[in-house]
Amino acid sequence: MKKIDVKILDPRIGHEFPLPAYATPGSAGLDLRACLDEAVELAPGQTTLLPTGLAIHIADASLAAVILPRSGLGHKHGVVLGNLVGLIDSDYQGQLMVSVWNRSQTVFTVEPGERIAQMVFVPVVQAEFNLVEAFDSSERGEGGFGHSGRQ
Ligand SMILES: O=c1ccn([C@H]2C[C@H](O)[C@@H](COP(=O)(O)OP(=O)(O)OP(=O)(O)O)O2)c(=O)[nH]1
Ligand SMILES: [Mg+2]
């Protein structure tokens, strides 16, 4: 398994609030917890930035992490991410933050230590642009946005 440096910014991490860990051998995501002193009430439509109490340094440009909603929170409670998806750059060393958006019609209360989102490490290819006047032809060409129909 790949080793990623992690810094604990809040002493409760690793004790009161467990360090993110894969829940099962096949898990893709590591749940991130809201590192809060007290519960936070999110009004309908409200977005707020929540700390996780930890920082990572991926330190490898061929990797990144994405922060994704948890499906139960998103589907059952309408609690998703204010940025839809969070992208963690390999050179970011600050605290992992989660933008939580209550897109439901009811107040949602985030409890201290609650698992609010999940983080997935993903491979990245950095590309360099090669300037051309014309592309080699392809089957699709410029067709897009549904040009092939619906069925
Ligand atoms: O949900 C998120 C999204 C981003 N970040 C951190 C890590 C990431 O590397 C950095 C910058 O994110 P991004 O590039 O998406 O934001 P930006 O608005 O372009 O900010 P910047 O100008 O700092 O790149 O913020 C988080 O902690 N949580
Ligand atoms: Mg950026």
**79-107 per-position pLDDT tens digit:** 999 999 999 999 999 999 999 999 999 99
Domain boundaries, the chain: 5-21+29-123
In this prediction the pTM is 0.96
Superfamily of domain covering 5-21+29-123: Deoxyuridine triphosphatase (dUTPase) (2.70.40.10)
Ligand 1: which of 89, 99, 120 to mutate, judged by most atoms within 8 Å of the beta carbon?
89
State whether ipTM is beyond 0.90: yes
Q: What is the DSSP string of 29-46?
A: -EEEE---SS-EEE-TT-
* Dist. CA 58–CA 55, nearest whole Å: 10
Q: What is the Å distance from ligand 1's center to 89 Cα?
A: 7
- Give yes or no for residue 43 CB within 6 A of ligand 1: no
- Give yes or no for residue 66 CB within 6 A of ligand 1: no
